[in-house]
């Protein structure tokens, strides 16, 4: 090809890019992800390596593909590489290239929903394993790959059910890699925890009244006051980020998602009645070290006091998590976690650099692993890449994708060869 980025691309790499494009062309976006096509495509690839392949159903229409390469010492805890199959929806008219065409432009950028989040991982895992098999590598520990449904809608029918299953327990998983996020710099990012996803809905009630009347305690007056108080808290949190004191993922985010009020009429709203109720909903993300009672207290006392006829519901989205013995859902990134050093050394051996480990601002399936105290890191090898997950024109550069395969060859070799620190 004539493009500059592809001049150094080998036949093997062309084939790897083609696999990535084929996977991206399967529309696995909600609300109706084509899991069947995705799983048949991925399992055919796995069998060509070959890996042992099992399709598990924890919900009738949501297959989970489990691939395995047994280690020479199956008594050792295994390695699990996880990637979700599903994607978030698109607004196709806002894309410069169709979101399921996986068009590769003259700069080598591959445009598709899922290119960063996180379909790159499945193909990178598979191609790294294929290369290791071809080289004659023999893992000491068993290596498993889970390709799971449902992540983008909370994971209840995907990894959350899998980790509760006998199939999972039999794997004796000792360490997990899951998705991370792109890095605009030349350092890869790595995540040791996620913020937890809470949902807040505040409801207001009050006496209705004529639109012309001034009186205290109308539902929307109280609701607006609540909204303003919450907005001030949000500003304070955001100021800590803007001042560089905390990372965005280290504060509580509380962003308005919907507002519902007004009395509908054929032409819009009844404009001369102050309504008797209204509600507002927020997406709340909370760092793993924050006790949610802190928010409940603020809601009770300041944001949504009963005395102003406000009530609220604050709940953790998605499946309930076990409390991990009261410890926060995070993975150690120091000497107490031997996997941390194996992982970081492998990144360096691959020629990569890692930035300081972070909390992820959003939420991934890794929380279902960490709830059992199993160490899990979020990592997507995408350096020098704009962060485009869930955005229009999500794309990934060919060279970045291909380098990721090499990175995983190092990482998988190191993790699966790790003898353990006892004896
Ligand atoms: C209720 S869990 C939702 C998980 C989802 N994950 C990716 O975006 C998120 O909103 O972060
Ligand atoms: Zn994702
Ligand atoms: Zn996502």
Pair (341, 307) in one structural domain: no
Q: Is the CB of 363 under 6 A from ligand 1?
A: yes
Here the CATH number for the domain that contains residue 166 is: 3.40.630.10
Which domain CATH number covers 243? 3.30.70.360
- Compute, in angstroms, the gap from residue 152 CA to the centroid of ligand 3: 6
Q: What is the ipTM of this complex?
A: 0.98
**What is d(CA 38, CA 27) in angstroms, rounded to the nearest whole number?**
8
Instruction: State whether 185 and 209 are in the same domain.
Output: no
Beta-strand relationship, 109-111 and 395-397: antiparallel
Return the pLDDT at 1.
41
Stretches in the chain below the pLDDT threshold 50 = 1-4, 423
97 annotated as ligand-binding: no
Which residue CA neighbors atom 2 of ligand 1 most closely?
Answer: 154
Mutate to test the pocket of ligand 1, among 86, 119, 152, 281 (most ligand atoms within 8 A of CB): 152
* One domain for residues 118 and 57: yes
Is 317 touching ligand 1 by the criterion CB < 6 Å? yes
With a 6 Å cutoff on the Cβ, whether 153 touches ligand 1 is no
135 three-state secondary structure: coil
> For residue 190, what are the CA distances in angstroms to 11, 177, 264, 357?
31, 10, 48, 5
Last residue of a domain, one of 253, 284, 316: 316
Determine if residue 392 is labeled as part of a ligand binding site: no
Give the residue from 268, 288, 316 where a domain finishes. Answer: 316
In terms of domains, do 123 and 204 share one?
no
Establish if 347 belongs to a structural domain. yes
Of 149, 154, 378, best ligand 1 pocket probe by most atoms within 8 Å of the beta carbon: 154
Distance 196 CA to ligand 1 centre (A): 9
Verify whether ligand 1 is closer than 6 Å to residue 114 (CB atom).
no
199 lines ligand 1 (CB under 6 A): no
Please indicate, yes or no, whether residues 304 and 337 belong to a single structural domain of this protein.
no
Q: Is 152 annotated as a binding residue?
A: yes
Question: Which among 250, 266, 272, 410 is positioned nearest to 343, based on CA atoms?
Answer: 410
3-class DSSP state for residue 341?
helix
Ligand 1 neighbour 208 (Cβ under 6 A): no
310: closest CA among 281, 283, 278?
Answer: 278
Give residue 323's pLDDT. Answer: 81
By most ligand atoms within 8 Å of CB, the mutation choice from 151, 157, 283 for ligand 1 is 151
Q: Is the CB of 197 under 6 A from ligand 1?
A: yes
Residues 6+ apart with CB under 8 A from 363: 194, 195, 196, 197, 285, 318
- CA 26 to chain CA centroid, nearest Å: 20
Q: Distance between CA atoms of 247 and 234, rounded to whole angstroms?
A: 14
- Pair 24, 136 in one domain: yes
Residue 324 belongs to some domain of the structure: no
Q: Which atom of ligand 1 is nearest to the CA of 194?
A: 11
What is the number of structural domains in the chain? 2
Question: Does 154 contact ligand 1 (Cβ within 6 A)?
Answer: yes
pLDDT score at 324: 79
Q: Which ligand 1 atom is nearest residue 317's CA? A: 1
Query: What are the tens digits of pLDDT across the range 94-131?
Result: 999 999 999 999 999 999 999 999 999 999 999 999 99
- The boundaries of the domain holding residue 388 are 4-190+333-417
Report the atom number in ligand 1 closest to the C-alpha of 364: 6
**100 within a domain of the structure (yes/no):** yes
Catalytic residues: 86, 151
Q: Whose CA is nearest to atom 3 of ligand 1?
A: 154
334 has binding-site annotation: no
Q: Are residues 120 and 248 in the same domain?
A: no
| Residues 15, 69 within the same domain | yes
**Cα(290) to centroid(ligand 2), Å:** 23
Residue 410 assigned ligand-binding role = no
Q: What is the pLDDT of residue 404?
A: 98
- Note whether 153 and 38 are same-domain residues: yes
Residues 221 and 367 placed together within one structural domain of the fold: no
Q: What is the pLDDT of residue 422?
A: 53
């Amino acid at each position: 090809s004539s493009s500059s980025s592809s001049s150094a691309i080998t036949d093997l790499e062309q084939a790897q890019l083609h696999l990535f494009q084929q996977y991206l062309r399967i529309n696995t976006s909600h609300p109706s992800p084509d899991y069947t096509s995705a799983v048949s495509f991925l399992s055919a690839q796995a069998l060509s390596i070959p890996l042992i392949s099992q399709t598990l159903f924890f919900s009738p229409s949501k297959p989970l593909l489990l691939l395995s390469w047994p280690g020479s010492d199956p008594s050792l805890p295994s390695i699990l590489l996880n990637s979700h199959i599903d994607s978030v929806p698109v607004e196709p008219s806002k894309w410069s290239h169709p979101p399921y065409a996986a068009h590769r432009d003259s700069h080598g950028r591959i445009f598709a929903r899922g290119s960063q989040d996180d379909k790159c991982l499945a193909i990178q895992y598979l191609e790294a394993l294929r290369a290791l098999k071809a080289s004659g590598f023999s893992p000491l520990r068993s290596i498993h790959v889970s390709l799971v449904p449902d992540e983008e809608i909370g994971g209840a029918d995907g990894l959350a059910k899998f980790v509760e299953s006998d199939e999972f327990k039999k794997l004796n998983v000792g360490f997990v890699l899951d998705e991370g996020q792109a890095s605009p710099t030349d350092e890869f990012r790595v995540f040791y925890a996620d913020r937890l996803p809470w949902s807040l809905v505040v409801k207001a009630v009050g006496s209705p009244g004529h639109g012309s009347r001034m009186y205290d305690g109308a539902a929307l007056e109280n609701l607006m006051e609540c909204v303003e108080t919450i907005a001030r808290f949000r500003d304070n949190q955001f100021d800590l980020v803007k001042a560089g004191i905390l990372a965005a993922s280290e504060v509580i985010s509380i962003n308005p998602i919907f507002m519902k009020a007004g009395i509908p009429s054929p032409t819009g709203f009844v404009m001369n009645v102050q309504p008797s109720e209204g509600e507002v909903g927020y997406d709340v993300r909370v760092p793993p070290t924050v006790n949610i009672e802190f928010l409940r207290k603020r809601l009770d006392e300041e944001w949504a006091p009963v005395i102003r006829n406000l009530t609220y519901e604050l709940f953790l989205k998605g499946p309930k998590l076990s409390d991990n013995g009261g410890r926060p859902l995070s993975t150690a990134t120091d000497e107490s976690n031997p996997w941390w050093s194996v992982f970081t050394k492998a990144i360096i051996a691959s020629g990569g650099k890692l930035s300081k480990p972070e909390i992820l601002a959003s939420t991934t399936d890794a929380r279902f692993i960490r709830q059992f105290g199993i160490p899990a890191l979020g990592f997507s090898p995408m350096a020098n890449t704009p962060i485009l997950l869930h955005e229009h024109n999500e794309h990934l550069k060919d060279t970045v994708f291909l380098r990721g395969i090499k990175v995983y060859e190092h990482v998988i070799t190191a993790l699966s060869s790790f003898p353990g620190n006892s004896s």
